[in-house]
Amino acid sequence: MTHARNLAIGRFGEDLAVRHLQQLGLVVLDRNWSCRFGEIDIVARDGATLVVCEVKTRTTDRYGGPFEAITDAKAVRLRRLAGQWLAEHPVSPAAVRIDVVSVVVPDRGAPRVDRVTGVA
């Protein structure tokens, strides 16, 4: 796959993830927020909880499913990013949660969107 195609599929997956989260009642506060520690795909509010959401989009599970891409090191980085986002924004959530949204875009048929809450 070309780099441009990968970017397009990733963006498509993030758009689907945003719609999925909004349908579940979450309010999206930020997208593709970055700092020196990395990037958060989606920052949302679920009631009084701040949700840092990692989106993993795949066209195949040949190299493992999207959820398998969240390693311990990635979880640590997401926690650090959540702290940095909070330091830069005037919000005081009751809790912070890290979720992963998996988007599988097959060659044929509708994309499949799944979410796992509280992964780290």
Q: What is the pLDDT of residues 67-96, one digit of tens each?
A: 676 778 888 999 999 999 999 999 999 999
Distance CA 118, CA 120 (A): 6
- Is pTM beyond 0.85? Reply is yes
Nearest to 35 by CA among 71, 90, 88: 88
Topology of domain 3-116, per CATH?
Answer: Trna Endonuclease; Chain: A, domain 1 (3.40.1350)
What DSSP line would sit under 40-86, residue for residue?
A: EEEEEEETTEEEEEEEEEES-STT--GGGG--HHHHHHHHHHHHHHH
Kindly indicate the confidence band of residue 64, based on its pLDDT and cuts at 50, 70 and 90: low
Tokens of 84: 């940095």
CA count, 13 A, side-chain hemisphere, 107: 2
